[in-house]
């Protein structure tokens, strides 16, 4: 998910997307520990998506300086 796509979402949608991405990351980590990961590059991708979501959510929630 790109930053541009995330910025178009409402804060509630970003929170939902953040929760879903964290769940995907958790499931992927569990599969990695059992040796069943087919796409290990997704671990890094999900971590970066979580960071993007958190950053943009924080920017939207802080009041803008005048």
- Contact call for residues 18 and 58 (beta carbons, < 8 A): no
Within a domain: residue 66? no
Within a domain: residue 65? no
Domain ranges, residue 41: 3-60
Residue in this structure with the two tokens 């959510």, named with its chain if needed: 57
Within a domain: residue 11? yes
Confidence (pLDDT) at 66: 57
Q: What is the pLDDT of residues 15-65, one digit of tens each?
A: 999 999 999 999 999 999 999 989 999 999 999 999 999 999 999 998 876
Output 63 or 66, whichever has higher pLDDT: 63
Which CATH number do you get for residue 8?
A: 1.10.287.310
Within a domain: residue 38? yes
Q: What is the pTM of this model?
A: 0.88
Distances (CA, A) of 23 to 35, 38, 42, 50, 63: 18, 18, 13, 11, 29
């Amino acid at each position: 998910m790109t930053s541009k796509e995330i910025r178009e979402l409402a804060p509630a949608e970003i929170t939902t997307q953040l929760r879903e991405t964290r769940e995907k990351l958790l499931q992927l980590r569990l599969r990695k520990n059992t040796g069943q990961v087919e796409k290990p590059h997704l671990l890094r991708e999900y971590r970066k998506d979580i960071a993007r979501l958190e950053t943009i959510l924080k920017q939207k929630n802080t009041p803008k300086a005048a």
